[in-house]
Structure 1
């Protein structure tokens, strides 16, 4: 282990979200995890929650991100925060891949989506002291109709849409 990981030592893997997947590289420390996630055109995640705050930066491309009943159309350079425990999902309907940088606090290093390949950044002899071990959860029945929320946001930009 080391505080530093050379680019080639952090694997580029596939995160399987059930009906969809994306490519990602992930590292973690004690308090946070960082993912570089490339989502293909047409990517549509299942609504999910995790007991950690998520900060996003759109490195390249564009992506719709839905947080409970709000929609955000992220474009290159945009930022977005998803509060801990908030139901959220994303949809890449741009016609091209996009790359999103995600920071989760506490980190998602124990989440089965990335636990098999996330690289720890800890000093030689350091004993990790994690803040927590949240994992993604996929509720069977969201409290609202996902399709209705997406149609309202992407077809008719109305007050429920926040384009940043």
Structure 2
């Protein structure tokens, strides 16, 4: 199956955006989820966990501070991979002026559904472009 970024909606938040390309609810038979995440400059997402799924983060471009579990935040940059065990609390913060681009997977898939309850969620339909404004 082929999925184009223009064919899926964009989930936009105060901190950035996500496009989910493969999820169990969008691709028949899929057992994991895969998406592209953009964390805007000077932004990050709140510390959270996924009780029932491990997460893998691959950095396409940019730099950030990553926290996993109770460990100290550590720098991540282009080419780095981070494994987050199921249930481990984690956060990502982009302290630079450039957007941070990530590929994120959940195994098993489905954890992305929790994002639908985020109070700052705005969904942009396939093929539309979100307009970013500084608060």
- Displacement of 1:85 after TM fit? 0.2
Match of 2:130 in 1: none
Instruction: Find the residue that maps to 1:113 and give its secondary structure.
Output: helix
Match of 1:132 in 2: none
**2:80 is equivalent to residue 86 of structure 1:** no
Structure (1 or 2) with the larger CA radius of gyration: 1
- How many residues matched? 112
1:137-156 alignment to 2 at 5 Å?
Answer: none
The structure with the largest strand share of the pair is: 2
**2:23 is equivalent to residue 22 of structure 1:** no
- Displacement of 1:87 after TM fit? 0.7
Q: Structure 2 length normalisation: TM-score?
A: 0.72
Q: Structure 1 length normalisation: TM-score?
A: 0.60
Match for residue 11 of structure 2 among 6, 10, 13: 13
Cα RMSD (Å):
2.3
- Displacement of 1:69 after TM fit? 2.1
Report Cα offsets for 1:65-114 as digits up to 9, x if no partner: 10122223111111110000001111110222110110111113662415
Distance in 2 of aligned mates of 1:31 and 1:77: 25
Match of 1:37 in 2: 37
Distance in 1 of aligned mates of 2:116 and 2:3: 17
Instruction: Find the residue that maps to 1:111 and give its secondary structure.
Output: helix
Distance in 1 of aligned mates of 2:83 and 2:114: 22
Q: Residue 108 of structure 1 contacts residue 114 of structure 1 at CA under 8 Å; is this kept in 2?
A: no
Structure 1, unaligned runs of 5 or more: 120-164
